[in-house]
Amino acid sequence: MAYPILSVSIWLPILAGVIVLLLGDDRRACFTRWLALAGGLMAFLVTLPLYTQFNYADTGFQFQELSNWIPAFNIFYHLGVDGFAVPLILLTSLTTVIVIIAAWEVIEKNIAQYMACFLIMSGLMIGVFSALDAILYYVFWEAMLIPMFLVIGMWGGPNRVYATIKFFLYTLLGSLLMLVAFIYLFHQTGSFAISDFYQVPLDLNAQKLIFLAFFAAFAVKIPMWPVHTWLPDAHVEAPTGGSVVLAAIMLKLGGYSFLRFAMPIAPDGAHALGGMMITLSLIAIVYIALVALVQKDMKKLIAYSSISHMGFVTLGFFIFNPLGLEGGMVQMISHGFISAAMFLCVGVLYDRVHSREISAYGGVVNTMPIFAAFAVLFAMANSGLPATSGFVGEFMVILGSLQLNFWYAFLAATTLIFGAAYTLWMVKRVFFGGIANHHVAELKDLNKREFLILSVLALLVIGFGIYPKPITDMTHATALQFLQHMATPKLLPQAGF
C-alpha cells in the first residue's frame, strides 16, 4: 500500500471540488467542466485499489488509518473498510463521474459550484462509508447534507424551497437522535470507536432505545415507510444529477448504517424489533408499489419505485440469514445503477421537452429509437428481469425471507407483478404508441455523451445480472462474520438506562 487509500479517496474529490470552485467560472465553462471531470476521474481511479487489493478472507476492517483528532474525548481520525463498505465506495466514486458527465452542457449557470458540490459530496459520502469513529462518521454524515441542500436549492425546480426544507429537517431530526445514542455509548465505553461500541454489553431496553435512535436517523435516509415522504418531493425538485446521487448513493447510506451501527451495536434490540422492521419493509414494498402505479410525474414514479426497492434492502437485513443479508447488499449496488440510469433517462427527456409529466409524452421511440432501447432495458432491470442486476437482489431476498416465513416472501414477491406494472406502464405511455405531440416529433436521439453514460450503466446492469458473484465474493466474509456477531447476545442484565 503506497498511499493512504481511504484518506486520498475522501480528500482528493473534496480538494478537487475546492479547486474547481476556485478556478472554475461560467465564462470558462469548457475548462471548468474538463477540470471537474479530471477531478472526478482521478477520484474514481484512486478508489480502485480498494477493489484490487481487497483481502476477501479478512473479516475485519482493512486499509485502516488511525490518528489522533480530539484526544480530550478520545475521538480519533479512524478510517477502515470491510466487505460492506468497499462496493458502496466504488459505487460512489463511479456515480460522481457519471453525474459530472451527465451535467456537461445541461448545467449552464454556476457550473463550477455545481460540479464542486458533487465532488465534495462524493468525498464526504466516502467518508461516511469508511469512518470507524462515531464522531468522524457523524461529521461526514451531517456535512454531506449541505452540498445536497445546495444542489436542490440552487439548481432545483420551482417548488425547491419546500423540498429542501423538508429534506433537511426530516434528515436532521433523525440525525440528532443518533447523536444522542452516540453520546450515551460514549458514556458506556469511554470512547467513540465503533469497535468499542460493538463490544460493550447493554441490557435489552437500552439496546432497544439505541436501536430506535439509530432507526430514526437511518430509516429517514433509506427511506422507510412512513418517513419516506421527503424523497418524492426532493427528487421532483432536484436537478438530474441531484436525483442520481440521492437515489444511487444517499439512500444506501441509510442501509449501510444499519449494518454499521444499529444492528451490531444493539443486536438483541435489532432482533427484538426485527418484526417491526420486516413489517415496515413489506409495507414499503407493497404499499409504495401501489402508490407508484398511479403517479403522473415520471420522477415521482421512480422515487416511489426507489422506496419500494429499498424495502428489499431492509427486509433482507432483518431476516438474519446470509441470503437476505447479501441479497440486501446486492440490491443496494444494483439499485445504485438502475435508479441512476432511470433518473438519467428522465433527465434526457426533461432536457429536451422540459416536462416530467408522463402525459406530455407518447411514442418517443419513433424519434429516439436508441434512447428507447436503453429505457426499455433499464425499465426491465427495474422490474427485476433475470440477467439484469435488478433481479439478483430481489431473488435472494425473496428466497431468503421464505426461509423465515412463507408470507413474507409472498408479499415481497408481489413486486414481480407491481414492479413490472408501474415501470412498464410508464414505458408504454412514454415510449410506445404514435407520436403524441410536436415536442415528441422534434426530439433528437441521444448525443454521444448521453450514449456513453447510459452504455456504461447498461453494461454494469447486465454484467452484474449475468455474473453477480464479484459483489457477493466481496461481502461474503464480512456477512458471515456479521451474522455470527448478530447471533451472539451482548446483553448486560444489571445495567440500567
Partner 1 sequence: MISMSLLVWIPLLPLLAAAVVGLFGCKLPRAAAHVLTIAGVGAAFALSALVFSKTLAGAVYNQNLYTWLTAGDMQFHVGFLVDNLTSMMMVVVTFVSLMVHIYTIGYMEEDPGYSRFFSYISLFTFSMLMLVMSNNFVQLFFGWEAVGLVSYLLIGFWYTRPTAIYANLKAFLVNRVGDFGFLLGIGMVLYYFGSLDYATVFQAAPAQAATQVSLFPGVSWSLMTVTCLLLFVGAMGKSAQVPLHVWLPDSMEGPTPISALIHAATMVTAGIFMVARMSPLYELSTTALSTVMVIGAITALFMGFLGIIQNDIKRVVAYSTLSQLGYMTVALGASAYSVAIFHLMTHAFFKALLFLGAGAVIMGMHHDQDIRHMGNLKKYMPVTWFTSLIGSLALIGTPFFAGFYSKDSIIEAAKLSEIPGSGFAYFAVLAGVFVTAFYSFRMYFLVFHGKEKWREMKHDDAHHDDGHHHGLGAHDDPHEPGWVVKLPLLLLAIPSFVIGYIAIEPMLFGHFFQGVISVNSGEHAAMTEIAHHYAHELQTPAAMALHGFLSLPFFLAAGGVALAWFFYTRRPDIPAALQTRFAAIHRVLENKYGFDAFNERFFAGGARCLGSQLWQIGDVKLIDGAIVNGTANSIGRLAQLVRKLQTGRIYNYAFAMIIGVFILLTFFRFIH
Q: Are strands 62-70 and 75-81 parallel, antiparallel or unpaired?
A: antiparallel
Residue 348 CB, shortest distance to partner 1, in Å, is 19
Site string for partner 1, 444-473 (x = CB under 8 A): ----------------------xxxx--xx
Look up residue 163 and give its three cell numbers. 423540498
Total residues contacting partner 1 by CB under 8 A comes to: 62
Residue 3 CB, shortest distance to partner 1, in Å, is 32
The dihedral sign for the CA sequence 235, 121, 198, 317:
positive
Residue 250 CB, shortest distance to partner 1, in Å, is 19
The nearer residue to partner 1, 124 or 413, going by C-beta atoms, is 413
- Select from 70-78, 90-98, 257-265, 396-404 the region that touches partner 1 (CB under 8 A): 396-404
> For the purposes of burial, counting CB atoms within 10 Å of the CB of 463, is it exposed (0-12), middle (13-18) or buried (19 or more)?
middle
Residues with Cβ within 8 Å of residue 441, at least 6 apart in sequence: 367, 435
402 binds partner 1 (CB under 8 A): yes
220 neighbors 227 (Cβ within 8 angstroms): yes
Look up residue 103 and give its three cell numbers. 451535467
Of the candidate residues 51, 73, 407, 497, the single one contacting partner 1 (CB under 8 A): 407
- The residues that bridge with 79 in the sheet, in sequence order, are 65, 131
243 neighbors 235 (Cβ within 8 angstroms): yes
- Select from 16-24, 48-56, 125-133, 425-433 the region that touches partner 1 (CB under 8 A): 425-433
Of the candidate residues 34, 61, 184, 432, the single one contacting partner 1 (CB under 8 A): 432
Of the candidate residues 83, 174, 239, 363, the single one contacting partner 1 (CB under 8 A): 363
- Select from 50-58, 124-132, 201-209, 419-427 the region that touches partner 1 (CB under 8 A): 419-427
Residue 369 CB, shortest distance to partner 1, in Å, is 9
Residue 162's CB is within 10 A of a number of other CB atoms, namely 11
Amino acid residing at 341: A
The dihedral sign for the CA sequence 27, 29, 34, 39:
positive
CA 289 to chain centre: 19
Site string for partner 1, 67-106 (x = CB under 8 A): ----------------------------------------
The nearer residue to partner 1, 87 or 241, going by C-beta atoms, is 87
Helices (H) and strands (E) in the chain, counts: 25, 2
Dihedrals φ, ψ of 304, to 5°?
A: -65, -40
Residues 199 to 238: which contact partner 1 by CB under 8 A? 226, 229-230
Mapped onto helix, strand or coil, the DSSP state of residue 68 is strand
- Select from 32-40, 174-182, 202-210, 394-402 the region that touches partner 1 (CB under 8 A): 394-402
The nearer residue to partner 1, 190 or 369, going by C-beta atoms, is 369
Of the candidate residues 45, 417, 441, 495, the single one contacting partner 1 (CB under 8 A): 417
- Measured CA distances, 6 to 132, 218, 466 (Å): 12, 23, 30
Site string for partner 1, 281-310 (x = CB under 8 A): ------x--xxxxxx---------------
Q: Which of 15, 23, 70, 2 is nearest to 42 (CA)?
A: 15
Residue 277 CB, shortest distance to partner 1, in Å, is 18
- Measured CA distances, 135 to 69, 92, 125, 274, 307 (Å): 10, 21, 15, 27, 28
Residues 373 to 392: which contact partner 1 by CB under 8 A? 376, 380, 383, 385-387, 391-392
Residues lying near partner 1 in the complex (CB under 8 A) are found at: 166, 170, 226, 229-230, 287, 290-295, 321-323, 326-327, 363, 365-366, 376, 380, 383, 385-387, 391-392, 395-396, 398-400, 402-403, 406-407, 409-410, 413-414, 416-418, 420-421, 424-425, 428, 431-434, 466-469, 472-473, 476, 479-480
